[in-house]
Structure 1
Amino acid sequence: MSSERLASSEQKLSASFAGFGRVVSEEDRLRWREAMSRRAQEAFARGQAALQAGNTSLGLFWLERAERMSRHNPNLKWSVGLACLSAGRISDCLVRMEGLRQDFGLREAAFLEVICLVRLQRMEEAIHRMQTALSRFHATPQTHLLARQIAVAAGRPGWMTASNTDTIFIEVSRPFKLFLDGQECIQGNESGTYDLPKDWRSARSLDVRVGRRHVLGSPLDIRVLTRCESFVEATSDGLRGWIWAPAEPEYSPCVTLWDGATFRAETFAEDVDSDIPLARTKVFHIPTSRVPENDTGPLALRDENGCLLTGAPVDPLVGRLTLGRRGGLPARLRPVKVRTWTPRPRCPRTSPGCAVVIPVYADLRRTMACLRTVLATCPADVSVIVVDDATPEPPLARALDQLAAEGRIVLIRHLQNQGFPISANDGMRAAEGRDILLLNSDTLVPAGWVERMRARLAFTDVGTVTPFSNDATILSYPAVDRPNPVPSLADMRALDRLCQETFKATGKTSCDGPDLPTAHGFCMAISADCLAEIGLFREDLFGQGYGEENDFCLRASASGFRHLPAPDLFVAHIGSVSFGTAGKSLGARNLKILNALHPGYDRLVKRFIDADPLHTTRRRLDIARLIRLAGGRSAMLMVQHDAGGGVGRVVRERSEVFEADGGLALALRPHEQGCSLEDALDDKRFPNLTFRLSEDLPLLLDVLRTVRVQVVEWHHLIGHAPCVRTLHERLGVPYDVFIHDHVWFCPRISLCDGEGRYCGEPDITGCEQCVTRWGGYLGEDISVSALVARSGQELSGARRLMAPSEDTVRRIRRHFPGVIIEAVALEDDATLRKSIRTGHHAAYGQPVRVCVVGGISRWKGYDVLLTLAAEIQKHRLPIELSLVGHTHDDDALMSLGVRVTGEYREDEVQALIQQQQPDVGLIPSIAPETWCYALGHIWRSGLEAVCFDLGAQGERVTRSGTGLAVPLGMPPFQLAMIVIRRWGALQ
C-alpha cells in the first residue's frame, strides 16, 4: 500500500472515533459477523482436510481456531471433541461432550462421554453415565460392546436398550422380567430382541430385572426415548415440515393427519435451521391436492405419541397469505395495516370482577411453584382457572386434581394437547366476562400483583397491562438486549419491592407511562371490555403459541385500546422452553404471519425499541440497586476507554484490591451519547446506567455523590466527553492518574508513524508534521502543543501519578519535567522469572519453535512478524513461527507458514502456548510498551523471550538476565540467525 493510501486509510480510522465512544453501526456488526463466520468456515474446512489427509495435529489446530472464532457453535464443539479424542487429548474431548450432553441432550455426546471416562479410568463415573445414557437413548450396535463391558464392571446382571421400532434388546445371562409402570409384561430366558406391547408408549417407565436387580439401563424413561421434535407450516404448495426423535435420530417417526391417515417421514433434511448438532431431521411434504379444498380452518397433525406437531393445527390458506397472494382469501385473513389509530376516550370503568387464567402442560416443579405463589397472593374474590392441556405427567395431573378437589382452583382438562392459544381461550371463556390475568405456568408472582395489574385497568381506554420481568422482551429488566438470570423467589420479591418503591418515588399514577406496541403473554392483564369487543386469541394461525397475544393487541389497537406497562410490578419468568428446538422455526413462521396480517408490525416494534421510552424507568431501578450495593461504602471511580485490553485488566485488578479493602469500585466508559457507569467487576450488572452528556450530567453527579465517590482514577480519557475531565472538580474529590500509554503527548498514542516505524520522539514541531501527515486517534481537534500543555496541567494537578515501568516514568518525565510518578509494576517479575527454563534448546533435528502471544497490531510488530516469516520461508530457515492470538490480517501470516490460533480468553492462553511446543517466545513490538502482559504469559510458560531493546519489554528482559533484547531495526534475517544460534538444536 502506498504512503498516500495508507495515510488516507488511517485518517478515516481516526475520523471514526469522533464524538463520544466508538459508534458501531448495525452494518459494522453485520460485516464483522460475516467476516468471522467466513474465517471460521475456512478454518473448519482446512481442519477437515488435514484430518482426512491423516494429519491429526494440524487438523486439530485448524478446528480449534474455528471453534474459538465461533464459540457458541455446537457443531464445531462436536468436531473438535472428536479430533481431541483421535489425538489422545481425552480430557479435552470429555469437557466438550459433557457440555453438548448438558446443553442439547445429544445422544452421541452421552455415549462418547462414557468412552472418555473409561479411557481416563474413572469407572464409577463411567458406570453412572452409561446407566443414564441407556435409560434415555437408544444404543446403536456400535455401542453394544461398551455397554456389555460397563455392565460387567458395574456388577449388573446384564444391560438393555429400547427402540422406537417397538422393540427392546436385552443381553442377560439369566431369566429376566420386563415391567411397564410396575406391571409385568414379558418374561425371557435368553438375550435377544423382543417386541414390546402395543400400548408401551402410554407407559412412563420400563424396567428389566433379573430377580430383584435391574439390568444396566433400567428403568427406562419412555417419554424421553419416544419424544419427537417437529415443525409444520403452510406453504404455496401445501404443508411442509420436519420431525425427528432426538433419542434415536436414525428412526423414521410416523405422522398422523387430520383424517387419521398416517405416513413415515424418511427423507433427511438438508436445509433445516437447527441449533442441535447432528440433528437428523426428516422432512415431509403434504401437497395441495391432499389438503381439503374448502376453507375448513386449521388442520391437526400429530406424532405417534398423540402430540400435535409444533405449528399445528395449521391453516393451509396461511401459505398464500405470507407469500402475499391475497386474492380469494377469506375475510379472516385480510391484512390490516398498522397505523396511528385514534385512541378511545378515557373514562373510569367499573370492573366486572377478575380471574387468573393459567394454561398448564408439563414440568411439575415449575408449575406447582407458580401455583403456590398465585394461590398465596390472589384475593378471595379472584378465581384461579387452570387449563390442563393434556399433561403427559401423571404427578402433575394428580396435583391439579387435588387443588381442584380442595376448591382452590377451577380445573379445565383437555383430552388431547391443543396448544397455548386454545387453552388460554378456554380459560378466558370460563371467566364469564370478567377481567383476565393471563399467566404462564413458568412464572413466580409477588404479593399485591393482582391489585397492581387491576389498578391499570381502571379506565376504558386500557386494553392490556404487562409487568416488568427478567424475560419479557421490551419489558425485560435489567437488560433488554440479552438474557437475564432467572431470579429466585426471594430475588423476585426484592426486585418487586424495588419496582414499587422506585415507581412511587416518581409521583406518577398507574395510568401514566408510554404506550406499548403490544403486551407480552407471559403475564398479561386484559380488560373485560377489550376482550368483549375484540374477541379471543386466534386459534387458527399460531399453532401452540408465539404471536397470538401480539395479534390480539394489534386488533385492540385498531379499536383504540392502549397497552400499558406496569413498572411497579416485577414477575419472574423462566422463559421460552416449551417448544424445544422447534421454537426457533415456530417463532420465525409466526412472525411472518403477524407481518402479513398486520403490515408494519416490525416497524412499529423497531420504533419503540429505538425510542426506548422505558430506559428512564430501568435507569431509575439500576440507580436504586447501585445505591443499595454501595451500602454506605466509599467508592472509587475508574475512568477508562471502551476497548478492554490491558487497560481493562488493570482496572479489574485494581478494583479487586480496592473492594477487598471494603470499598466499591465503579467504572466509567464512553458511550456514543455520553457515558456508561458500571460495576467495575461486573459490567453487566447495571446495563441501563447510560447518561447523555451534557444534559444528564447533573443526574450522573447526583448518583456519584450518593454512592460516596471519594476519588476519581483516570486510566484512559479517549472517547469521553470533555466534561468527564472535570468530574473530580464538580464532585470535590481528588483524582489520580494511571498512565497506560503515551497519549499524553502523542496523538497517535503508540509513538509510531503511519508506516509502522517508531518515531524516536521528536520535538513538538516534528510531532505536528507527523500528525498532519498520518492523522491522530484522539477523536478531538487539538494540536500537539495544546495537548502537551493540557496534559502538563492535568498531570501536575493529580494527587498521584502511576506508571507500570521505569521506562515509562522516564519517557513521561522527559516531556513533563518536574512531575512525580510512581512506578507500579503490574506483575511480580521476580516470581515470573522463576518459571523460566534457561539454557533450553530445540530438540535435535527439529526447527526452533518461536511463539508470539497477543493481539498483534502494526506497532505491536505485525510487519516484523510478516517479514520474518517471509525470510524464514525464502531461505528455508529451521524456524517455525506460531502466534497465540490474532492480527488484522491473519491470512497473510498463515500464507507464509505462521500458525495463528485466533483470539483467546485469558484462561486459555497457557494451554495454547503449550500446544505450540515452543522453544522461545518473541515480543515483536517496535514501539516502547508501558508494560507487556504478553511477556508475562511467555515467562509463565517457562520460555525465555527475545524482544527489541526499548520500552518496558526491553527493560524487563534485560533485568531478567535471560533471553535477549536486540537493537530496534535489526534486519529480520539477522534476527532469525540469532534465534537459531541461541535456541537451535545442539549438535
Structure 2
Amino acid sequence: MEAASARKDYDTAIALGWVALAEPETRLAALRGLVHATLGAGRLEEAAHYAARLVQGGKIALDVILEGVVALSRGELHQAAGCFTHALEMDGTHPLAAVGLFQALSGSREALAAALDRLVPALSWNAETNDTCLAALRGLVAGGAVPAVVYTCAGRIEGIAAAPGVRAELIWNGLTVDQATLVPDQRDPGLCLFTFTVPTDLAGNAQVQVTVNGMPVPGMPLPAAMTRPPRLLARFTRISASATPGFAPQGDAEWSVLAWDAAHPARPVALDLVDRDGQMRRLVFRPEEEGARPAEPQTVSVGQGVRPLFPATGEPAYWQGGALPGEDAVRPRAPVSGLRRPVDIIVPVYGDAAVTRACLAALRDSMAGVQVGPSVEVILIADAPADAAVTALVDEVATEGWATVLRNPGNLGFVRTVNRGMALHPDRDVVLLNADAMVHGDWLARLAAAAYRDAAIGTVTPLSNDATILSYPDPEGTQLAEVSVPFLDGLAAMALSGKVADVPTGVGFCFYIRRDCLDDVGYFDAETFGRGYGEENDFCWRARARGWRNVAALDILVGHVGGSSFGGEKADRIAAALALLDQRHPDYQAAVHAFIAANPLLPARRALDVAWARTLGPQTCLLLCPVLGGGTDRFVDGQVASLMAQGIGVVVLRPEGWGDEAGEMPRVRLEIAGAPRLQSLVYEGLAALPDLLRNLQTLGVGRMVVHHVKGVPAMLLAMLAGRWPYDVHIHDYVWYCPRINLVDGSDRYCGEPAVAVCEACVRDNGHFLRSGDLAGNLPVATWRRSMAALLAGAQRVICPTQDTARRLAAQFPGSGIRLAVQPHPDREIPAVEPTPARPSMVRVAVVGAIGDAKGHGVLLACARDARARALPLEFLLVGYSRDNTPLLETGRVRVTGVYAADEAVDLVRAYQAHLGFLPSVWPETWSYTLTEMLAAGLAVAAFDLGAQAERLRMHGRGMLLPLGMTAPRINDALLELARRQGIVPSADAVPASA
C-alpha cells in the first residue's frame, strides 16, 4: 500500500512538475517535490537526477541536505558526506546536516576525526531540542571518536564521557569554577553523565571551558551566550474554528505557533504539546542561518485539553494575551461538593540557607500528620542557587525523600520557577510557598477548606505577620522574630474558624490556587514580571475579571520573613511592579487603596486581639483617658504600672477622632497594658459601641477609672458609667469648664464667674471638648449637669490638691460628690543647691510644653523686657513652646526641645539654671514641671494661684507673684529672688525699683 501511495505521488509530481518547470518562480519547489516523490517511491536514480538539478540553481542549505539524503540512500557515503559538509558550510548549525554527516562518516574513524571540528559544535547546538543530534553525540563518545562531549540545556552544561574514571572541570579565566560528579548512564553502561550549572555571575557573561582529565572537550570554549539563562516565550494565533476560553489553546482549531528565547534569540527552542493522555508532540523552532532570521511559525491542529510546555525548563508556555480576544465570558463554575483535589505545595529555593532551612523544617513538621502522595506532594524546585549552603540543603532534602526535588537547568527566576511547578500535574490544585514562609499545624487543611467554601473562589491567602494588606498583629507588618507563629496561628484557628473575606488581591508568600481557576486564567506572566513581585497581583486581577473571588483565610496565620528572596532589591522591585500593574490594570491600585481605607478586616484583627488579650488573664480595670500629653498622661502611665505590679490587668480606653456636630464619625481605641502589639482594638462609629462593650465584658473588666472625658460622647460615657463601679481622677477643670483650663479669650484665668458669663465665653471663644471643634453651641449649664451626674455616681472623686477640691466643691454644691484629696506620687525635694556667687547672667529655667495657658505670653513679655532693659537675665526653656521663633528672636531664651519625663531634672542641672519660673496663668491641679524644678534644687517663682501656690507654700521654696503682674515687675522679682539665694550678677545691674 505504501509503495502504491508513493507511486501515485510520483506520478502526480511528474505530471505537475514538468509543467511547473516552465515557470522560474516555481521551478525549485517543483524539483523538491520530484526529489521527495521519487525518493519515497524508491526510484533513487531519478531522485539523484532531480537533486543534482535542484542544487545547481539554488544556494539553500536544505536543498543540499536533500541531495545528501539521496546520496546516503544510494550508499554513496563519500558523496553524501560532501553534501552535508557543504550544507554545514552554508548553515553551520543545521541539525539535519549534522546528523547526516555523522551517519555518512560513522564507518570511517579517520574521516570522522577530520570532521569533528565542524560536526561536534553543530550536534551540540541542537542537542537540547533534537533527540537525534543528542543520540549522535552519544555515538561519537561511545565509538571512541571523542573522550567527551558537552551541550547546553537552558543554560546548564550537560556532558557525556566515555568512562567513570574521568575528571570533569568547569574552567573560567584559567580557574576551576566547579568539578562535576560523574554518574553512570542508565541507558548505556559504557557512558557517564555529568552536569555543570554555571555560576549566576558568569552565566551569559563569560566564556567558559569544560575539561575532561585536563584536556578541553571538543567545541571549547563555549560562547558566553550559550550559558545565558533562558527566557522562553510562545505565541499562539488562532487560524480557524473556535477555542474554549482559557490559558491553553483548547478546542479543535488550527493554530499558528511560534516559540523563541528572548534571552538568546539564536538558540533553537522546543515546545511540547501534551494532551490529556500524556501523548506528546514536539515542535522545534530554529532560527535560520544561525539567528540571522527568526524561526518561522508552525501551523498545528490542537485538540481539547492540550498543554504547551517547554521541555528544557519544564515551564508552561505562557500565552501572552491570557484569555483570547473577545472570549471574556466566565467559565461555568462546578458545584462546590466533590471538587476537592490533590494539592502540590511548590517551594522555589534560591538563597538564604538559614531561612530556607527553617521554612522547610516547619513545612516538614506540618506534613507529619498529612497523607503525602496522592493527596499532597511537596515539590521543592532549586533555581540554580549560587550559595553552596543552599545547594547542600537541597541535596539533603533529596536524600531524605520527604519532598520531590527538581533542579532548574539555570536560574529561571521566581516566576518561571513557580510556573514550572504549576505545570507539573494538571489535575492538582497548587500552593505556592515562599522559602521564607513558616507554616504550622493543619494549615493546609484549613487553606484547602477555605478554597472550596464557594464555587467561585479561585485563590486563597492566609494572614501573616508580614503580608501587606493581610498583616497581623501590626497592619503595617511585624518582624517574624518578634512573634510566635504557632501562637498566632492557634489564635486564628480558634477565634476565626472557617472565616474568609474577599480581598482585591492575594499575596504570594503562601498562595493557594484552585486548578479550575488556573486553567481558566492562565499561568503567571513571567515575561512581564521577570524575577518576581507583581505576578500574583496580575493573576488575581485577571481572575477577578473572569468572575473568580480572591479571599483571605482568616483562620490561618503563616509566618513570613518578608522580602528575604530579594533583599535590598525589594523596594525597587515593588516600584517597578506597581508601574507595570498600572499599565495593565489602571484600576488596580485605586481598588487596593479603597480596600485599605475601608479596612474590612478590622473585625477579624480585633477578634484576634481579644483572643490574644484573654490569654494574658483578666483585664479587670478599665482606664478612660484620651491621649492628652503632659502631666495627665504621665499620671496615667504611672497608675498603669502600679496596677500591673499588683497583678491587676489594665485596659486603657482612648477616645480619638471623635466628631463634631458636622457629623464626623467617632472612634475609640483600646490599649491592653503590657501588650503593645495589639493594635486593632479600634471601634469606628456609634454602631461599633455594642461590640466595644461586648469585648470589654469578654476581657473581664470589673471596674473603671475615669481620668478625662474630652472627646467622649455622652452615649458612650453613659453606657460605661452604668455598667461598672468607677472612680474619677481630676487633672483639670473639664468637668465644669468646656475650655478645660479656666482660661478665657484673653488667655488669662477667668476667675470662675457665673454660668451666664461662661456661656458667653464659650459662645465667643469656642470650647475644646471635641477634637478639632472650636465652635460654640454647647450650653455650659447642660454640660455641668451631665458632669455633675457623672461625678456624683463615682465611688470617689480624687483631687491631687486641696485647692482643686475646693474649686470643685464650689461648683457642684449639694450634688453628693464624694471628694477625696490624694496627692500625686512625688519626688524627693532636696535643699536649694549653692550656685556660683557672681554669674554673668541669672539663668531662669522654665520647664514643659508652654502654650497660652502655660504662660507663653508671659514668658515672651519677660524675655523682651530683659532685652529692652539690658537686664542680666536669660531664660532656659527645657522643653518647647507653641511658637519658639519669637522667643528665640529676643536673644534671651534658649530652647532645649522635647525631653523624656526622666530627663528634665538632669537638663536643668546640665544647663546650670539658677532659678525656676512657672509662668502658668491657670490654677494648676498639680504641675509635674514644678516638681522637676524643685527636684533640681531650684527656688521657683510662680503666680499665687492653684496647686502651684499651694505646693510652693507647703515646701517653703520660692516666691509667689500676684496674677496679672507686668513683665518688668516679674523680671525685677526674679532678680530679687536671685539675690535672696545669694546669686548676684557680676555687673550688679539690678534696678533700684526691685
Q: With structure 1 as the length reference, what TM-score do the two structures score?
A: 0.62
Q: What letter matches 1:935 in structure 2?
A: L
Q: What residue number does 2:168 align with?
A: none
How many Å apart are 1:809 and its aligned residue? Answer: 1.2
Note closer, same or farther for the CA distance 1:845–1:639 as it changes in structure 2 (3 Å cut).
closer
How many Å apart are 1:814 and its aligned residue? Answer: 1.8
Counterpart among 833, 836, 839 of residue 838 in structure 1:
833
Counterpart among 356, 360, 365 of residue 376 in structure 1:
365
Q: What residue number does 2:578 align with?
A: 591
Q: What residue number does 1:127 align with?
A: none
Q: What residue number does 1:107 align with?
A: none
How many Å apart are 1:563 and its aligned residue? Answer: 0.8
SS at match of 2:917: strand
* 1:935 matches 2:896: no
Cα distance in 2 for partners of 1:298, 1:777 equals 66
Q: Is the 8 A contact 1:693 1:721 kept in 2?
A: no
Root-mean-square deviation (CA), in Å? 3.5
Q: What residue number does 2:480 align with?
A: 486
Q: What residue number does 1:235 align with?
A: none
Aligned residue runs from structure 1 range 516-665, under 5 A? 516-629=503-616, 631=617, 633=618, 635-665=620-650
Aligned residue runs from structure 1 range 163-174, under 5 A? none
Cα distance in 2 for partners of 1:517, 1:347 equals 23
Note closer, same or farther for the CA distance 1:445–1:807 as it changes in structure 2 (3 Å cut).
same
Note closer, same or farther for the CA distance 1:726–1:845 as it changes in structure 2 (3 Å cut).
closer
SS at match of 1:769: helix
How many Å apart are 1:955 and its aligned residue? Answer: 2.0
Q: What letter matches 1:714 in structure 2?
A: V
Q: What residue number does 1:751 align with?
A: 742
Cα distance in 1 for partners of 2:547, 2:527 equals 24
Q: Is the 8 A contact 1:298 1:540 kept in 2?
A: no
Cα distance in 2 for partners of 1:198, 1:758 equals 89
Cα distance in 2 for partners of 1:515, 1:664 equals 36
Q: Number of residues paired by the alignment? A: 665
Q: Deviation string for 1:545-600 (max 9, x for gaps)?
A: 22111011111212222111111111111222444443223212221111111011
SS at match of 2:570: helix
Note closer, same or farther for the CA distance 1:543–1:712 as it changes in structure 2 (3 Å cut).
same
Q: What letter matches 1:720 in structure 2?
A: V
Counterpart among 493, 497, 514 of residue 500 in structure 1:
493
Q: What letter matches 1:559 in structure 2?
A: R
* 1:891 matches 2:885: yes
SS at match of 1:776: coil
Note closer, same or farther for the CA distance 1:816–1:385 as it changes in structure 2 (3 Å cut).
same
Q: What residue number does 1:826 align with?
A: 824
Cα distance in 2 for partners of 1:817, 1:257 equals 95
Cα distance in 2 for partners of 1:790, 1:364 equals 65
Q: What residue number does 1:350 align with?
A: 339
Cα distance in 1 for partners of 2:530, 2:862 equals 62
Counterpart among 673, 688, 691 of residue 680 in structure 2:
688
Q: Is the 8 A contact 2:736 2:811 kept in 1?
A: yes
* 1:740 matches 2:736: no
Q: What residue number does 1:778 align with?
A: 769
Cα distance in 1 for partners of 2:443, 2:945 equals 66
Cα distance in 2 for partners of 1:680, 1:478 equals 13
How many Å apart are 1:726 and its aligned residue? Answer: 2.0
How many Å apart are 1:716 and its aligned residue? Answer: 0.9
Cα distance in 2 for partners of 1:615, 1:601 equals 21
Cα distance in 2 for partners of 1:526, 1:357 equals 11
Q: Is the 8 A contact 1:655 1:680 kept in 2?
A: no
Q: What residue number does 1:455 align with?
A: 449
Q: What residue number does 1:34 align with?
A: none
Note closer, same or farther for the CA distance 1:892–1:387 as it changes in structure 2 (3 Å cut).
farther
* 1:817 matches 2:797: no
Cα distance in 1 for partners of 2:227, 2:875 equals 67
How many Å apart are 1:808 and its aligned residue? Answer: 1.0
How many Å apart are 1:908 and its aligned residue? Answer: 4.5
* 1:719 matches 2:715: no
Q: What letter matches 2:694 in structure 1?
A: D
How many Å apart are 1:821 and its aligned residue? Answer: 1.9
How many Å apart are 1:799 and its aligned residue? Answer: 0.6
* 1:803 matches 2:799: yes
Cα distance in 2 for partners of 1:883, 1:257 equals 69
Note closer, same or farther for the CA distance 1:358–1:751 as it changes in structure 2 (3 Å cut).
same
Q: What residue number does 2:953 align with?
A: 958
Cα distance in 1 for partners of 2:949, 2:875 equals 21
Q: What residue number does 1:973 align with?
A: 968
Q: Deviation string for 1:19-58 (max 9, x for gaps)?
A: xxxxxxxxxxxxxxxxxxxxxxxxxxxxxxxxxxxxxxxx
Note closer, same or farther for the CA distance 1:813–1:912 as it changes in structure 2 (3 Å cut).
same
Cα distance in 1 for partners of 2:331, 2:740 equals 57
Q: What residue number does 1:405 align with?
A: 399
Cα distance in 2 for partners of 1:918, 1:930 equals 25
Cα distance in 2 for partners of 1:201, 1:896 equals 72
Q: Is the 8 A contact 1:871 1:973 kept in 2?
A: yes
**Greater alpha carbon shift after TM alignment, 690-699 vs 637-646:** 690-699
Cα distance in 2 for partners of 1:959, 1:457 equals 72
SS at match of 2:478: coil
From the CA coordinates, give the structure whose radius of gyration is larger.
Answer: 2
Q: Deviation string for 1:265-305 (max 9, x for gaps)?
A: xxxxxxxxxxxxxxxxxxxxxxxxxxxxxx998769xxxxx
Q: Deviation string for 1:589-615 (max 9, x for gaps)?
A: 221111111011111112222222222
Note closer, same or farther for the CA distance 1:360–1:894 as it changes in structure 2 (3 Å cut).
farther
Q: Is the 8 A contact 1:333 1:597 kept in 2?
A: no
SS at match of 2:396: helix
* 1:359 matches 2:351: no
Q: Is the 8 A contact 1:928 1:951 kept in 2?
A: yes
How many Å apart are 1:710 and its aligned residue? Answer: 2.1
Q: What residue number does 2:773 align with?
A: none
Cα distance in 2 for partners of 1:933, 1:452 equals 54
SS at match of 2:416: helix
Instruction: Say which structure, 1 or 2, has more relative contact order (CA 8 Å, 6+ apart).
Output: 1
How many Å apart are 1:437 and its aligned residue? Answer: 0.8
**Greater alpha carbon shift after TM alignment, 802-811 vs 654-663:** 654-663
Q: Is the 8 A contact 1:359 1:424 kept in 2?
A: yes
Cα distance in 2 for partners of 1:747, 1:453 equals 54
Q: What letter matches 2:712 in structure 1?
A: H
Counterpart among 432, 436, 442 of residue 438 in structure 1:
432
How many Å apart are 1:801 and its aligned residue? Answer: 0.9
Cα distance in 2 for partners of 1:607, 1:415 equals 43
Note closer, same or farther for the CA distance 1:886–1:845 as it changes in structure 2 (3 Å cut).
closer
Q: Deviation string for 1:876-918 (max 9, x for gaps)?
A: 3223323222223222222223332333333544554445332
Note closer, same or farther for the CA distance 1:806–1:427 as it changes in structure 2 (3 Å cut).
same
SS at match of 1:695: helix
SS at match of 2:529: coil
Aligned residue runs from structure 1 range 874-889, under 5 A? 874-889=868-883
Q: Is the 8 A contact 1:939 1:945 kept in 2?
A: yes
* 1:982 matches 2:977: yes
Cα distance in 1 for partners of 2:430, 2:925 equals 64
Q: What residue number does 1:667 align with?
A: 652
Aligned residue runs from structure 1 range 253-292, under 5 A? none
Note closer, same or farther for the CA distance 1:429–1:922 as it changes in structure 2 (3 Å cut).
farther
Note closer, same or farther for the CA distance 1:794–1:450 as it changes in structure 2 (3 Å cut).
closer
Q: Deviation string for 1:495-514 (max 9, x for gaps)?
A: 2222122223xxxxx5x643
Aligned residue runs from structure 1 range 288-327, under 5 A? none
How many Å apart are 1:525 and its aligned residue? Answer: 0.5
Q: What letter matches 1:689 in structure 2?
A: L
How many Å apart are 1:927 and its aligned residue? Answer: 0.9
Q: What residue number does 1:699 align with?
A: 691
How many Å apart are 1:443 and its aligned residue? Answer: 1.7
The gaps in structure 1 that reach 5 residues or longer are: 1-196, 204-225, 229-255, 262-294, 301-329, 505-509
Note closer, same or farther for the CA distance 1:849–1:573 as it changes in structure 2 (3 Å cut).
same
Q: What residue number does 1:471 align with?
A: 466
